[in-house]
Structure 1
Amino acid sequence: MHHDLIIRDAMILDGTGAPRTRGDVGVEGDRIVAVGDLGADTAGRDVMAQGRAIAPGFIDAHTHDDRAVLCGPACMTCKMS
């Protein structure tokens, strides 16, 4: 199958709470159309993720956990989101 874009070798977090998986993400236009082993598929553009995390846009990955380093050891036990 041919895609506009394939992001290869990504750590995929799907937002369902399922365990993360390593694989590829196929994109056509502005839609994700395939997830998994897309090794046999072709693309107009390939991006090598090299194990970096990829998640849908509805997951807010923005945090301020770097602040825990500044406020002392007690903050290191705080739950991070």
Structure 2
Amino acid sequence: MPTIRLKFFASLREALGPTGQIELPAGSTVGQARDALIALGAPHSEVLARGRAVRAALNQTLCDEPAVLSDGDELAFFPPVTGG
């Protein structure tokens, strides 16, 4: 099973810590990784819930949930950034 390195930023980092990792079946997507983290229960299920706006970056490039993960990838989650 591929191992994906996780990073969390802003309010997600406050709730989940700065880093982590998860093992997923080969061919898993960013969306499936998010679902796997939600399935861990609180606090993951609260801050990554489907109703919440959360952005993702795969290997430091913004991505959508259908993006496919590979062993050793870095997947970051963060809230949307607003400007002023």
Same fold (TM over 0.5): no
Greater fraction of residues in helix: 2
Task: Tell me which structure has the larger Cα radius of gyration.
Answer: 1
Greater fraction of residues in strand: 1
Q: Normalising by structure 1, report the TM-score.
A: 0.31
